[in-house]
Structure 1
Amino acid sequence: MGRRALVSAGMPAAAFAVLLLALWFGGGRPRPAIEGLPSPGPLTTWGLPLVRLVHDLSAVATVGVLLTAVLLARDEDERRRIARAAAPWALVWAASAALTEVLTLSDFLGLPVGDALRSGVLTTFLYYIPQGQAFLLVTLVALTVAVGALLPLDAGGRALLLALAVFAVLPPAYAGHSASAADHNLAISSLMAHIAGVALWVGGLAGLVAFLPGSAGLPAAVRRFSALALCCFVAVGVSGTINAWVRLGEVSQLWESRYGLLVLAKAAALAALGWFGWRHRRATIAALETEGSRPFLRLATVEVAVMLATVGLAVGLSRTAPPASAGVPGVAQHQHDALGYTLPPYTPGRLVTEIRPDPIALLAVAGLVAAYLAGVRRLSARGEGWPAWRTASWLAGLLVLAYGLAGGVAAYGPAVFSIHAAQYALLGAVGPALLVLGAPLGLYRRAVPTAGEHEDGPWARALSLPWVATALYAAPYVALYLTGLFEAAQTSLAVRLGLQAVVVATAVVFLEVATGVDPLPRPIRPQVRAAMLLAGVAVQAWVALELLAGPLQGPGWYASLALPWGPERNGDQRLGALLGPGAAALTLAALLVLLLLRWRDARRRLSAGAVQAG
């Protein structure tokens, strides 16, 4: 066996060895069956953590291969070759997810695998139980990625596959201990951010080592990945700290419980990986130009081995029971169970003081801040200026989004409809308007010389069609208030986060097209832009009328909360109908005024130029 093959086999073997050690230490190892009590048997008790590790490693590999093809590879032929290599990994991922479903059912019922499959509850488990739903979704998406990787996709198609793969690593967050944490919304959200960061970081580095060791583009690929790796390191560290804090409850549990000691072991591994990153930045990346790739690849290979061992440790931790939570005294348990967190009685001041720190939202906002400021800095280094007011507008828009996603309105929005409406005005109008006035596309095209290569792609041209952008803007509101999605968004953290992301994204697309701040693939007349903004105002007027004249939204949800301090439902929905859509409509009207003023000034300049020419 060659050295390369030995190393390739040794790294996953180390992950399995660490898993077995963590199972032994944390108490997750199989126990002898007790006579008279149901037992799933050794196939399930040993097989479930081992298959779960295969699942996690293949998921990381799939994400890493696609990330390498999308972001790191140098030319189109190389990108297509690497993307095809994702197919077998995605198939293993799908198969291990399907096997995890079966073994989890066996563990869930306390029956051997054969008896569990003959019990007749597999369909119910897959469709109605969170663990079954999560891994069924993973199976389907992983199969989609496997098929897509074999197709001759362009850059946009490969990017879509990468997005699907990253999405598919998230559902298992609903199937672990975090789902039963004292603050399970925060625990799940932090775990989702943690898992996504790990998949991109570990998978990306493994992709560099596996596919680009002899490539002439390795130095440039390493520099691109280095920036992403630093972001992932921060995201993994912050989200992991939050998740551990929620699960442990007290700092003393770090050394008083086996779960806490395993958390400390993960923290030590993260610190070691931080040292690897520091060493790369200090020595090996610079040496790529002078000493070749050997120093970088040697250190990166050891780093990947430590990463895979840490994945094994994480799977072992997921099979270890966390310390029992004492709960929150004096708070109605049904309120806590429904919301996923405790909420004090509402006062206007608490919209300022109360926070719901969502790691996914805050990390995304931090990344957008860093990316924009990096673009401004790049222009400054070239001696080019960028309007300070545009930077201020971008930062203000992100501040609005951060408050809307993690501030007082995020805390009280699920409990009080009028605050929910105000939250969606911030996310769907105020924040996006400020972001668009920051001209992010213009900054990107000036800061990145090759950015214009893709500005006229089919996706960009389709999204810049006025009717498409307007339809996208209206769609979330129609779905939210006419299809029953409102109640689903309150009861499910995943649906709520997804809907909020869609509201922000569609509003940004709509306002980019409607305002004309940034250059677009197709010219759009000012009259059409004005009509788009008027259509946006009409959408908000329809939302207000639907809330004023239509049925109460989410009656079952608010009944399940049974808040003793909750407002009267009819009056609160009427207030929300005026407050949320009203603020959004005023924002769009202000943009319309700005558009008309710009149009007037442009006509005056054109007339003045014609007079001077004459």
Structure 2
Amino acid sequence: MSTLLRRPAVYALIAAGTFAVLLAALWLGGGWPQPEIPGLPSPGPVTSFGLPIVRVVHDACAVATIGLLLAAVALANGADTRRHLTRLAGQWALAWAATAVVTQVLTLSDLLGLPVGEALESGFLINFSTEVPQGEAFLIVTLITLVIAAATTLTLGPAGRALLLALAVFAVLPPAYVGHSASAADHNLAVSSLMLHIAGVTLWVGGLFALVIALRRSDDLPAAVGRFSALALCAFVAVGFSGAVNAWIRIGDLGELWQSRYGLLVLGKLAALAALGWFGLRHRRRTIVALEAGTTSRPFLRLATAEVGVMACTLGLAVALSRTPPPDAGSAHSSHELLGYTLRPFTLGRLITEIRPDPIVILAVAGLAVAYVLGARRWAGGSWPAGRAVAALAGLAVLLYATAGGIAAYGPAIFSVHALQYALVGTLAPALIALSAPLVPLREVWTPLRAAAEGPRARALTHPWAAFGLYAAPYLIFYAAGLFEPAQESLAVRLAVWVVLFTTGTWFFCVALGLDPLPRAIGPLQRMLMLAGALAVQAWMAVVFLAGPVQGRDWYDDLALPWAPDRAADQLRGAALGPGVAAVTIAALLVVLAARRRGAARRVAAEEPAAATRP
């Protein structure tokens, strides 16, 4: 971290401004430590002042770790530079782990209302770390960051660094998952928006930090800034959108923005976001142009350093906001305790018209759509077949409806809707997208995908048995391993299952249909056998639903929805809807493959007489 010492005055000023904003926001928001009352338990000033301060340092270490790993994965060019960035990220990860431990201890002191020494002597630390959500969250952070720190000492390739980056981004989410948003009226939407918000912030702030601190004197700086510019724009949109959603859930009424302390702090974050937007616009119009022209990097570095300062102050504001009680949102957001949202009695019309928006899902689907369209426009001068583009957008529309529409709303409450949802996410949407040859345009947008699609891992995964295993395993494991109820109870598990079903399904159908250029040649008969195997998987699922035990008995008992259908009869409907829709989709693809095979045979037959008559 010796690089940080080159400009100590600037960094000291940024740190002082960050803590000044933190203390001012704590005072304004009501999170300022209150005087001790004789006779009542109190954690003391060390905890009262230390906890928010350490939390800011903890968040700063997380941002630095993620930013340096991001630079090593996607921004820097040279192997030596990437190796240096990875090792530097390991040092910050150790600091992140240390601050997570301190935060855990101070949080225990705060919850017990005891000074740190007495809290440690109470013997509750182990129970707090393994049984209380806040303690579990920081224990997870500590373990993951220690793994990251250890892994950075190894010789890593692109895949290894990307995995560490994914782990680091994941490590910032557990504290958000158990924070104030988890107790909001619409807690699923609140938690989802907050997780997206935090992930976007850490990638955005961390990436800029890496450019200013670690790459400021590197020859890679112009190219790295060009790559980061697109990511920063996406992060700005994600942070603004998710922040607005989360603030609306917590406040409930626009009037509370200026009538409550919480609302005033939200306005402060909004002003900071507007300032950061101005910085970004200034970069695009002035400093990046000068940087790419090779004239000078000073304007960019000066403006970027000021931008990092604003971002750091915003971190202090965010920590103060997390310790400020939000206003009562009233009954406008009343919700079912387990579902986390209000759900009206089921009708077919509501299955179509009801919406269950999720910021993570919406932005992910929108990002895929934009990436596909941009890649299609770049391919061969924009002469991309319109039919393929329609198939891609139709598949993404199905995915969005299944994960943010009426099916997403009623899926956790009605098993037959749940089964239909998994058929749409894991089979219909991937099949439509595979018909659009998605890897071709995506490789135009994301160049690392080109090398990955031709490497040994891609060749192994395009083996028919490997692709089939990826498709079948989630269905076979999900119900056998008892993941059904956790997926209904936990937003994180539910999102993870959707991602697994969609990605494995898309890969399987891309291999089976063969519209994308892949490193392994597969014959038509093998492709049809792959689809026949997928039909067998869906038939097995139907048998499990028809002859197996009732799924989610305890979950549906706890829901106790008065309008819920009979569970046994509904599971029979689920066997027809879920595996049935998937089977019809696969059968249609078999027809497509058979038609392609007949067409190829006709072309060969037509060419043979012509070749025979040639002199």
Same fold by TM (over 0.5)? Answer: yes
Query: Which residue does 1:276 correspond to in 2?
Result: 279
1:314-463 → structure 2 map (5 Å cutoff): 314-327=318-331, 336-379=336-379, 383-445=381-443, 452-463=450-461
Superposed CA deviations along residues 248-289 of structure 1, whole A, max 9, x for unmatched, are 111111011101000000000000000011111111111111
- Residue 300 of structure 1 aligns to which amino acid in structure 2? A
Please list every run of 5 or more consecutive structure 2 residues that lacks an aligned counterpart in the other structure: none
* 1:575 matched residue in structure 2: 573
1:204 maps to amino acid: G
CA distance in 2, matches of 1:62, 1:100: 18
- Provide the C-alpha distance between the structure 1 equivalents of 2:447 and 2:53, rounded to a whole number of angstroms: 47
Contact 1:266 1:313 in 2 (8 A): yes
- Tell me whether 168-177 or 570-579 shows the greater mean CA deviation: 168-177
Aligned counterparts of 1:451 and 1:137: Cα–Cα separation in 2: 31
In the alignment, is the contact (CA less than 8 A) between 2:427 and 2:585 conserved in 1?
yes
Cross-structure match for 2:154: 151
Query: Out of 82, 89, 95, which is 2:85 matched to?
Result: 82
State the identity as a percent.
Answer: 62
Tell me which residue corresponds to 2:510: 512
Partner residue, 2:131: 128
2:69 equivalent to 1:66: yes
Range moving further from structure 2, 98-107 or 119-128:
119-128
8 Å contact 1:474–1:539 — kept in the other structure?
A: yes
Shift in Å, 1:127: 2.5
Cα displacement (A) at 1:117: 2.8
- Judging changes above 3 Å, is the alpha-carbon distance between structure 1 residues 402 and 61 closer, same or farther for their aligned structure 2 residues? same
Structure 2 CA distance, aligned partners of 1:98 and 1:363? 33
Deviation at 1:429, TM superposition (A): 0.7
Residue aligned with 2:348, SS: coil
- Measured in 1, the distance between the counterparts of 2:169 and 2:9 equals 29
CA contact (8 A) 1:131 1:174 kept: no
Change in CA separation of 1:393 and 1:44 when aligned onto 2, cut-off 3 Å: same
1:143-194 per-residue CA deviation (whole Å, 9 max, x = no partner) reads: 1111122211111111111111111111111232101111111100000000
- In the alignment, residue 500 of structure 1 is paired with which amino acid? W
Q: CA separation in 1, counterparts of 2:602 and 2:269? A: 65
How far, CA to CA, are the matches of 2:78 and 2:588 in structure 1? 45
Partner of 1:15: 18
Matched-pair contact (CA < 8 Å) for 1:82–1:211 = yes
Task: Give how far 1:114 is off.
Answer: 2.9
Equivalent position to 2:54, from 47, 51, 54: 51
Matched, 1:309 2:326: no
Q: Give the 3-state SS of the residue equivalent to 1:150 in structure 2.
A: coil
Alpha-carbon distance in 2 for matches of 1:406, 1:449: 30
Shift, 1:210, TM fit: 1.6
User: What's the CA shift for 1:290?
Assistant: 4.8
How far does residue 450 in structure 1 lie from its aligned partner after superposition? 7.2
Find the aligned partners of 1:21 and 1:40 in 2 and give their Cα distance. 21
Shift in Å at residue 12 of structure 1? 2.8
Which is worse superposed, 217-226 or 279-288? Answer: 217-226
Q: Is the 8 A contact 1:362 1:402 kept in 2?
A: yes
Provide the C-alpha distance between the structure 2 equivalents of 1:293 and 1:418, rounded to a whole number of angstroms.
Answer: 59
C-alpha distance in structure 2 between counterparts of 1:250 and 1:328, whole Å: 9
Residue 447 of structure 1: how far off its partner (Å):
6.1
8 Å contact kept, 1:130–1:174: no
Tell me if 1:547 matches 2:545.
yes
Matches of 1:150 and 1:47, distance apart in 2: 32
Instruction: Map Cα deviations across residues 481-537 of structure 1 (whole Å, 9 max, x no partner).
Output: 112110111111111111111111111121121111111122122222211111111
Aligned match of 2:290: 287
Would you say the 8 A contact 1:391–1:438 is kept in 2?
A: yes
Contact between 1:91 and 1:142, CA under 8 Å: does it hold in 2?
yes
Match of 1:167 among 164, 170, 190: 170
Separation (CA, whole Å) in 2 of partners of 1:276 and 1:67: 21
Deviations 1:391-424 (A, max 9, x none): 1111111111111111000011001111111111
1:450 to 1:161, Cα distance in 2 relative to 1, 3 A? closer
Instruction: Give the counterpart letter for 2:17 in structure 1.
Output: A
Of 220, 223, 227 in structure 2, the residue corresponding to residue 220 of structure 1 is 223
Quote the Cα distance in structure 2 between the aligned partners of 1:212 and 1:97.
27
SS at match of 1:349: helix
CA distance in 1, matches of 2:332, 2:306: 44
CA drift at 1:123 = 3.1
CA distance in 2, matches of 1:347, 1:407: 14
Shift of 1:223: 1.5
Q: 1:599 Cα deviation (Å)? A: 2.2
- The answer to whether 1:106 aligns with 2:99 is no
Q: Secondary structure at the match of 1:397?
A: helix
Cα deviation, residue 295, structure 1: 1.1
Sort the Cα spacing of 1:512 and 1:28 in 2 relative to 1 into closer, same or farther, 3 A: same
Aligned CA distance change for structure 1 residues 99 and 459 (closer, same or farther; 3 Å)? farther
Cα pair 1:66 1:83 within 8 Å, conserved: yes
What is the rounded CA distance, in whole Å, between the counterparts of 2:235 and 2:562 in structure 1?
42
TM-score norm. by structure 2 comes to 0.95
Per-residue deviation, 1:14: 2.1
The CA deviation at 1:542 is 0.9
The letter for the 2-side match of 1:490 is Q
Distance in 2, Cα, partners of 1:373 & 1:204 = 26
In structure 1, runs of 5+ residues without a counterpart are: none
Distance 1:10 1:248 in 2: 33
Q: 1:436 to 1:143 in 2, by over 3 A?
A: same
- Structure 1 distance, partners of 2:508, 2:377, is 28
Letter in 1 for 2:224: A
Question: Residue type of the partner of 1:489?
Answer: A
Equivalent pair of 2:339/2:489 in contact (CA under 8 Å): yes
Query: How far did residue 27 of structure 1 move?
Result: 1.2
Note if contact 1:425-1:580 (Cα within 8 Å) is conserved in structure 2.
Answer: yes
Out of 174-183 and 309-318, give the one that drifted further: 174-183
Alpha-carbon separation, structure 2, partners of 1:40 and 1:280: 46
Q: Distance in 2 between matches of 1:173 and 1:451?
A: 31
Paired letter, 2:280: G
* Residue 214 of structure 2: aligned partner: 211
CA distance in 2, matches of 1:573, 1:161: 41
Distance 1:218 1:375 in 2: 25
The equivalent residue for 2:45 is: 42
Alignment match of 1:478 (pick from 476, 479, 488) = 476
Does the 8 A contact of 1:376 with 1:447 survive in 2?
no
Q: Deviations over 1:7-31 (max 9, x none)?
A: 2333233222211111111111211
Matched, 1:229 2:227: no
Which piece of structure 1 moves more, 284-293 or 152-161?
A: 284-293
Cα shift readout 1:330-367 (whole Å, capped 9, x = no counterpart): x7x7xx11001111111111112211110000011111
Superposed CA RMSD in Å reads: 1.8
| CA distance in 2: counterparts of 1:520 and 1:2, whole angstroms | 49
Number of positions where the alignment pairs a residue of Structure 1 with one of Structure 2: 608
SS of residue matched to 2:111: helix
Residues 407 and 417 in structure 2, CA contact (< 8 A), matched pair in contact too? yes
Cα deviation code 1:81-108 (max 9, x no counterpart):
2111100111111121122222222222
